[in-house]
Structure 1
Amino acid sequence: MADDPLFWVVAIACLGVAGILIFGIGTFGRGGEFNRKHANRIMRWRIGAQFVAVILIIAFVWLRSGGN
């Protein structure tokens, strides 16, 4: 499975979601003007990245199961 390029694309997408989530939680925890201005935008980015990651995971599982 580690030799599969699609696996690495899925892994990078999941790490991207985790990175955005950690960044958003960090800015939320600190508060301040930056959080007030950008909190919703950061979480929208996370939702979009999470959508892409889930689609890639579903595609990976479907393609590796034979596409039936």
Structure 2
Amino acid sequence: MKTVQASMAGTVLQVLVGEGDRVEAGQDVVILESMKMEVPVQAEENGTVTAVKAEVGAFVGDGDVLIELG
């Protein structure tokens, strides 16, 4: 299974994709807020979103799975 992981600890500000969406490598999928900066998290591979693990307002740690791709 392919995943998109948090690149740093922060709060989920926006989730830009939903289950069933097709994503391309390099596409922004989640926006984190860390140290008052907005940090986009990008998919590293092409795929279809099978699960969204990130919830707006939730705190995530570095390496936490945000999106699962099939």
TM-score scaled by length of structure 1: 0.22
Task: Flag the structure with higher strand content.
Answer: 2
Query: Higher Cα Rg: structure 1 or 2?
Result: 1
Task: Flag the structure with higher helix content.
Answer: 1
TM-score scaled by length of structure 2: 0.22
